[in-house]
Amino acid sequence: MAVTGKLLELCKALQPARLLLMALAIGLLLATATPVWALSAQSYPSAPPSERLLDASGLFSRAAAAEVEQALEALSKDDVDAHMVTVERLDYGLSLGQLGNQLLDRWAESGGNPRQLLFLYDLQTKSAEVLASAPLADTLEAPLLRSTGRATMGQPLRQGARYRQASLDGIARLQTVLEGGADPGEPATAELVQLPTTVPTHEQTQSSNARTWVIVLLAVGTIVPMLTWWIFSR
């Protein structure tokens, strides 16, 4: 009984320490967790940032990010201030295109370069949008931007979420147009070629079965009367 009492007293003494350890563990988990905040235009700088790639979601590796940054920077030779934005979660009711237009309006008020070009990714839907400010509308028309986002950049996304390739392809297409070249157009879609097969189709199977039954019935219709005649003629 004395031993049991001492054990109970020891458990009571350790109870606060256990609770304290649990509280510390929960606090550490909350501190190290990275919350995913919904984004709107107000989540970004009021003026175009010096960074070309705003990858808050960590979509690109270091090497891929450097390559994309370099491609975006190359557009400045055509007096275009280009940026790319990756979005993991949008504000409720806000589309990727709406976010892009709000960003362009927000940056236009800063008094910087009015020739703004914006590439955006939505990680939830694996989709891309390309938008340009009004001074670029004559060179980069709306159908071209829409085709670049949905086809040139969209196809690599649908073929395995290849964001690096999608980015470089989209930038290269618009760069060609900005430098006075003809639009390269959308990427060719791969066509599925039907290979020959030895497996019969449903129609062939039905036809084969019907032919078999006809042969069987003809054979039975011929052999049975002959056997009957032979048996009774003996």
Copy the structure tokens of residue 135.
Answer: 């001074």
Which segments of the chain does DSSP mark as H helices, in order? 2-32, 62-74, 96-108, 142-147, 154-158, 163-178, 202-233
For residue 216, the model assigns a pLDDT of 67
For residue 27, the model assigns a pLDDT of 47
Per-residue pLDDT at 102 exceeds 50: yes
- Domain-wise residue ranges, the chain: 41-178
Element (H, E) at 191: none
Per-residue pLDDT at 204 exceeds 90: no
**pLDDT tens-digit readout, 142-196:** 999 999 999 999 999 999 999 999 999 999 999 999 999 999 999 887 444 444 5
**pLDDT tens-digit readout, 40-93:** 777 788 899 999 999 988 999 999 999 999 999 999 999 999 999 999 888 788
Q: Cα(125)–Cα(161) distance, rounded to whole angstroms? A: 11
Task: Specify whether the CB–CB gap between 121 and 163 falls below 8 A.
Answer: yes
Please state which CATH number belongs to domain 41-178: 3.10.310.50
Task: Specify whether the CB–CB gap between 64 and 165 falls below 8 A.
Answer: no
Between 68 and 112, name the one with better pLDDT. 68
Per-residue pLDDT at 4 exceeds 60: no
**pLDDT tens-digit readout, 16-30:** 555 444 544 444 444
